[in-house]
Structure formats: C-alpha cells, structure tokens
C-alpha cells in the first residue's frame, strides 16, 4: 500500500519480498474504521484502487470474488458442557452502503493485487529475495541478498513482521513484551464449516441484526476465543474456504498438547455448540501453532529506518484492529516521507508523531484485549466489558466517516489533510480522552474482580452504571443496558438518527467527530444503487448480444475499473530496473533513487 502511494508520487521505490505471491497469511477481517481510512488514503494520495479494498462491493467487483462479506461482528458465549444460550449472543453491525459493508479479505488475492498495483504505479518489485545482511550508514542503507545482489537506499521501511531481521540486528524489541495480553494460537483454512446461523433455531435467529454467517464470528469462552471468517458467505461467492483460528490464554492453556489439530478438536469438544459448528469441517491446508504471539518495541524509528506497526509489535487478532493501526501508520508515514523526499531530509524527528500515535494505539488496544480475556470468565463481565470496544469502534469510525462525507460534499482537500491531526489520529478511539478514561476505569473494575475484592457480577454492574452515566454516547443505543446485546445498526435511517443525536446533544469534541452532511450520505447511497443497476444492465446487454452476434467492439473500450488508472493504463512500467537504474527501496511499502527505502519481507 505504501509502495503504491510513494511510486504514484514519483518516489523511486523498490519492494523486496522474501517469498512470493500469492501466499497465505492471516489478518483477514476488515473493520469499519479500517475501511474508511483506506478510502481516505485513496483519495488523499490519488490511488483509487486502495479504496476498492475498503468496501465489499468494490472489492468483489474490481479485485477478487474470493473475498467474503462482513455485515457485523458476532460473539457467542459458551460454557463447558452446555449449548449456547441465545440471549448470550452479542452483535455489533458494520456500516452499510454507501460506506460499507466490510469484507473478509482473501489475502492471497488482495496482497498480490497490491503488489501488482505498486508495479503499475512505477515501483520495482523483487520476489524470492532473501536478505542476509543490512548495513546502516550515515547517508544510506545497504542490503545484501543471499543471492549476492546488493541494494542501496536512502531509507529502509521494515514490513517483515514478527521475524524482523532489523529488530534482531538493532536490538529494538522488548525482551519481555510490555503488553498484558498473553496468548498463543492455532489456525488454518477449512472446508465444510457450516453457517453459524444453522446453530440457532428460528427463535434465536429472530434477535439478530444480520446473519451470523455474514459476520466475523467469535466463539468466546473462559480461557480463549475462536475466529470464524467465511469467504463463501454471499451469493456471488467463489471461494469455499473459511479461515478458522483458536486463541488461547496462556495463563489457562500454557502448554500445547498433541498435534495442533488434536488440540483444536480437544478444546472445541468441551463446547457443544462449537463442536456442532465444526462437525463436518476439515483443514484445507497445514495447521499452524505458535507460542506466545505478543511482541513489542518501544520505538518504530531509527536513523534511516522506519518500521511498520506489525514489524514492531503485535497483540492479538481479537477485534481485527491490527489493520487499522497499519493504515493509520501508512497515512502518517506517507505524509511525512513525501516531504522528506522533497527536502532530502530523513531526520527521525519527522516520523516521531507516527511512532507516538502507533504506540498509544497499541497500548489502548492491549487494554481492550487483555480486559476481554479477563472478562471471558463470566458472561456478566464479558457482556459489560465489550461495550468498551463497541464505544471505541463507534467513535473511531464516525471520525473518518465525517471527514470522508464532508470531502465528498465539498471536494475540499483540507478534510483529507485533517486525518493526521492529533485530535483525529488514533485506533479504537485511543485519541479521545473520554474513551480512554472509560476503558481505564473498567480495567480497574476487572482488576478488582480478579483480585477477589469484588465479584464479577459487581464488576459488571459498575461498568454498566458508568456507561449509563456517560454523556457522549446516545442513551437509545443501550450501552448501559445488559439486555441490549446488539448495540447499533448503521443503515440509512438509524445512521441519520446517530448523526442527529450528536448534532443536538454532543459536546463540541464529539459533535465535530460524529456529524456529517446527511444529504451527501444519501446521495452516495443512491449513486451506489444506480451504479449496481447500471452494471447489471451492461452485463445483461452483453450476454444478450453474444447470443446473437460474434462480432463486438469491446476492444475499443477501457473497462470501468481500469479507467480509474487514468494516465497509467498505458504503458505499464517495467517490473525490473534496467542496468542503469539505481537499486532502491522497500519490502511491503517504500522508496528508491533520490529517495529510497527498502523493506525486508
């Protein structure tokens, strides 16, 4: 993504990939905040294709039909030896058109698409390039590949993830991760996973805001949780796979037992509803099992180096917010780096704000996730605690949505530039004092329950009481009501109600963050519907024509998706540099030549 932006703006960019595309990786579920920020980044930096990944309908049409739709987050709470109780299902809706819904990314396709897109915009991409040595100089970075090739860059952007060679070489990682979350994982892709809706009788399904099979499904139990991410959950689906993962709290499940699949089956067998969900499922690829997955670094920047968030730290897949941290960082890095390239000044101070925002986001995210694992001990505490995440997700989403709608109405780029203002730059509301204070107070209640000073029931009552007393959340959403387990929907009418409430009752901070021109939103919705109808007519006309005629003039026309490339439709830049070109930069995103960065993948 970052490589696309930099190359689009004329920065000489080299992308180094240790493996090759397509490849399997996790991080497959988008959330509303991430999707909106992807669309803002696309508009802000003139790379419309990035925005396609931000909403399901454009992703399906322009990138891949192998991806799934995500209309909500679904959570089923389980007790050992018991079927799920339908009243213990929590849901939180994602956005609806024109801003949503979200997607389940089939990363083999979406990552390969972004890699190819970076080449289209002018980056050089080298796969199967293993880096064996990195040397940081005063004016450049030198990378030597195992094959003997040498690459030099003005700046290195490390996008390598957990096994970061740079982190090891420079000693950037904390010896013991600073995060309270302490989990391990088992995961794979599976065939034959039933829709979660089939686990419920008609009465249980009646209380849902959208089908559980079209959600990122979470099975929650004392000691862990599972993700179920189907790619086959819409009428145009072409991918039969489901991503399945088990996250275990190491305090309660410290040591692996048996093979990964044996441990997976042993854990789910304790929960009858979960066991039914996977009764006919089989792994479609080898299982992966890890030790502790958390790692952390106090710094993401050093002379001639920027680390992307996933190279510096990781917490847990719960709530799917890792991608949000990444997109926030990409926006901040791109804004600062384009100025650095123009001025040939790569001082670390330019990127300090990005480092602060990312670390603050990680720490808030850890508070939410670690508190969730503690709350799993009781449905009462889980039902109360998860409102902290819903609150952060709601307010974290409305901020970028407001900016995007104002930009759509006015075409005033100042709204896009506001995304990196300190008061708007965070993850799950980590930039909003009220959100952070509520989470910290709830954390204190959870700690008191864990220490035995109060019961879990008392902790949940305190958390609910605090939500009932807050003045920056609409009362009708029921944050303080234990019986309201589906907090909000975001179709046109309820969405208008949310905006109207903040206009009339929100204090200035939240009013500015949560309101936008409703007529623009409605217009964008109408444009979406008409566009879908136009595409359906075009396909129907082509099909009818082909029944009767072999000749056509399709070759004269640029496909609508490709037309958005503008001047880049032809020619396509070469995928490898000529002998005269200086080697450059990046590995999941970066620059080359007069300004260069190289990431190690």
pLDDT in tens, 411-446: 999 999 998 999 899 999 999 999 999 999 999 999
Query: Same structural domain for residues 384 and 404?
Result: yes
Average pLDDT over residues 571-598: 33
pLDDT digit string (tens) for 123-148?
A: 999 998 999 999 999 999 999 999 99
In the three-class reduction of DSSP (H, G, I as helix; E, B as strand; rest coil), residue 430 is classed as coil
Query: Same structural domain for residues 350 and 443?
Result: yes
Q: Dihedral of the CA atoms 377, 379, 381, 382 (nearest 10)?
A: 90
pLDDT tops 90 at residue 507: no
- Rounded CA gap, 466 and 439, in Å? 10
**39 within some domain:** yes
Q: How confident is the model at residue 569 (pLDDT cuts 50, 70, 90)?
A: very low
**261 compared with 565, residue with greater pLDDT:** 261
Contact 517, 405 (CB under 8 A): yes
**78 within some domain:** no
**587 within some domain:** no
DSSP state, 580? T
Give percent above pLDDT 90 in the chain. Answer: 82
Query: Same structural domain for residues 491 and 400?
Result: yes
For 134, phi then psi, to 5°, come to: -130, 130
pLDDT tops 90 at residue 585: no
Single residue among 241, 256, 289 that ends a domain in this structure: 289
Average pLDDT over residues 252-258: 92
Query: Same structural domain for residues 405 and 514?
Result: yes
pLDDT at residue 337, as a whole number: 97
**94 within some domain:** no
Look over the chain and give the mean of its residue pLDDT values, rounded to a whole number: 90
**556 within some domain:** no
pLDDT digit string (tens) for 528-537?
A: 999 999 999 9
Average pLDDT over residues 516-541: 92
Single residue among 239, 255, 289 that ends a domain in this structure: 289
**545 within some domain:** no
In the three-class reduction of DSSP (H, G, I as helix; E, B as strand; rest coil), residue 303 is classed as coil
Give percent above pLDDT 70 in the chain. Answer: 93
Query: Same structural domain for residues 257 and 306?
Result: no
pLDDT tops 60 at residue 593: no
Q: What is the CATH number of the domain that holds 118?
A: 3.50.50.60
Single residue among 518, 533, 554 that ends a domain in this structure: 518
Beta-carbon contacts of residue 379 (< 8 Å; ≥ 6 apart): 77, 88
Helix, strand and coil percent figures for the chain, each rounded to 5:
45, 15, 40
Average pLDDT over residues 297-312: 96
pTM of the model: 0.91
pLDDT at residue 509, as a whole number: 83
pLDDT at residue 560, as a whole number: 65
* Bridge partners, 15 (sequence order): 125
pLDDT at residue 161, as a whole number: 87
Query: Same structural domain for residues 435 and 377?
Result: yes
Domain span at residue 200? Answer: 183-289
Contact 318, 226 (CB under 8 A): no
C-alpha triplet 404, 409, 415: angle, nearest 5°? 45
Query: Same structural domain for residues 191 and 122?
Result: no
pLDDT digit string (tens) for 167-189?
A: 999 999 999 999 999 999 999 99
Average pLDDT over residues 55-66: 95
Query: Same structural domain for residues 126 and 271?
Result: no
Contact 517, 406 (CB under 8 A): yes
**117 within some domain:** yes
Pair of tokens at residue 441 = 């107070």
Query: Same structural domain for residues 154 and 129?
Result: yes
The lowest-confidence range among 226-230, 319-323, 495-499, 594-598 is 594-598
pLDDT digit string (tens) for 445-481?
A: 999 999 999 999 999 999 999 999 999 999 999 999 9
- Rounded CA gap, 125 and 77, in Å? 45
**273 compared with 161, residue with greater pLDDT:** 273
In the three-class reduction of DSSP (H, G, I as helix; E, B as strand; rest coil), residue 288 is classed as strand
pLDDT at residue 582, as a whole number: 28
pLDDT at residue 334, as a whole number: 97
Query: Same structural domain for residues 378 and 360?
Result: yes
pLDDT at residue 587, as a whole number: 32
pLDDT tops 50 at residue 107: yes
Query: Same structural domain for residues 279 and 306?
Result: no
Query: Same structural domain for residues 10 and 41?
Result: yes
Pair of tokens at residue 246 = 């088990």
pLDDT at residue 386, as a whole number: 97
Average pLDDT over residues 572-586: 32
Average pLDDT over residues 67-77: 97
pLDDT tops 60 at residue 381: yes
DSSP state, 128? S
- In our burial notation (b when 16+ CB lie closer than 10 A, e otherwise), range 495-523 reads beebbebbeeebeeebbebbbbeeebbee
pLDDT tops 70 at residue 583: no
- Rounded CA gap, 127 and 98, in Å? 36
pLDDT digit string (tens) for 193-227?
A: 999 999 998 877 878 999 999 999 999 999 999 99
**595 within some domain:** no
Contact 16, 165 (CB under 8 A): no
pLDDT at residue 579, as a whole number: 32
pLDDT at residue 202, as a whole number: 82
pLDDT tops 90 at residue 41: yes
pLDDT tops 90 at residue 77: yes
pLDDT at residue 326, as a whole number: 96
Domain count, the chain: 2
Burial of 7 (0-12, 13-18, 19+ CB in 10 A): buried
């Amino acid at each position: 993504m970052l490589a696309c932006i930099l190359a689009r703006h004329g920065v000489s960019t080299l992308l180094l990939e240790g493996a090759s595309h397509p490849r399997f990786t996790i991080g497959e579920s988008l959330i509303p905040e991430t999707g909106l920020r992807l669309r803002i980044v696309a508009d802000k930096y003139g790379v419309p294709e990035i925005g396609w990944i931000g909403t399901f309908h454009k992703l399906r049409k322009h990138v891949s039909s192998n991806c799934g739709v995500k209309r909500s987050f679904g959570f089923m709470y389980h007790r050992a030896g018991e079927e799920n109780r339908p009243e213990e299902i929590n849901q939180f809706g994602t956005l609806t058109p024109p801003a949503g819904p979200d997607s389940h990314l089939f990363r083999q396709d979406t990552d390969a698409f972004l890699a190819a897109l970076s080449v289209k915009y002018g980056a050089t991409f080298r796969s199967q390039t293993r880096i064996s040595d990195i040397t940081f100089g005063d004016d450049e970075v030198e990378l030597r590949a195992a094959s003997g090739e040498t690459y030099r860059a003005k700046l290195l952007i490390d996008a390598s993830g957990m096994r970061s060679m740079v982190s090891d070489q420079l000693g950037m990682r904390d010896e013991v991760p600073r995060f309270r979350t302490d989990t391990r994982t088992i995961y794979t892709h599976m065939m034959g996973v039933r829709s979660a809706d089939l686990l419920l009788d008609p009465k249980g399904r009646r209380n849902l805001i959208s089908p559980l099979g079209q959600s990122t499904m979470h099975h929650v139990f004392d000691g862990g949780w599972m993700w179920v991410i189907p790619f086959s959950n819409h009428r145009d689906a072409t991918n039969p796979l489901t991503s399945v993962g088990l996250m275990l709290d190491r305090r309660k499940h410290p040591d692996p037992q048996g093979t990964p699949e044996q441990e997976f089956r042993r854990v789910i067998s304790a929960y009858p509803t979960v066991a039914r969900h996977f009764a006919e499922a089989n792994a479609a690829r080898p299982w992966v099992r890890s030790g502790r997955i958390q790692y952390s670094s106090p710094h993401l920047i050093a002379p001639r180096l920027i680390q992307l968030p996933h190279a510096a730290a990781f917490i847990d897949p719960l709530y799917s917010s890792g991608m949000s941290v990444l997109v926030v960082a990409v926006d901040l890095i791109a804004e600062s780096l384009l100025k650095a390239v123009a001025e040939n000044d790569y001082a670390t101070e330019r990127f300090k704000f990005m480092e602060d925002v990312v670390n603050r986001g990680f720490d808030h995210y850890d508070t939410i996730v670690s508190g969730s694992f503690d709350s799993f001990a009781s449905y009462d505490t889980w039902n109360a605690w998860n409102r902290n995440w819903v609150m952060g997700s709601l307010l974290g989403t409305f901020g970028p949505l407001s900016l995007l709608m104002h930009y759509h109405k006015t075409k005033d780029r100042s709204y896009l530039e506001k995304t990196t203002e300190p008061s708007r730059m965070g993850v799950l509301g980590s930039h909003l004092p009220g959100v952070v204070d509520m989470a910290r107070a709830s954390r204190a209640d959870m700690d008191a329950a864990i220490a035995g000073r109060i019961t879990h029931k008392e902790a949940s009552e305190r958390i609910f009481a605090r939500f009932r007393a807050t003045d920056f959340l609409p009362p009708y959403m029921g944050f303080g009501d234990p019986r309201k387990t589906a907090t909000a929907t975001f179709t046109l009418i309820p969405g208008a109600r949310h905006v109207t409430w903040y206009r009339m009752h929100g204090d200035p901070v939240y009013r500015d963050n949560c309101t936008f021109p409703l007529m623009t939103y409605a217009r964008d919705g109408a444009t979406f519907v008409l566009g879908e109808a136009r595409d359906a007519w075009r396909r129907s006309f082509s099909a009818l024509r082909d029944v009767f005629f072999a000749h056509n003039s399709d070759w004269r026309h640029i496909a609508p998706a490709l037309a958005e490339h503008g001047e880049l439709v032809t020619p396509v830049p070469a995928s490898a540099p000529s002998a005269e070109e200086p080697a450059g930069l990046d590995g999941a995103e970066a620059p080359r030549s007069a300004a260069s960065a190289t990431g190690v993948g």
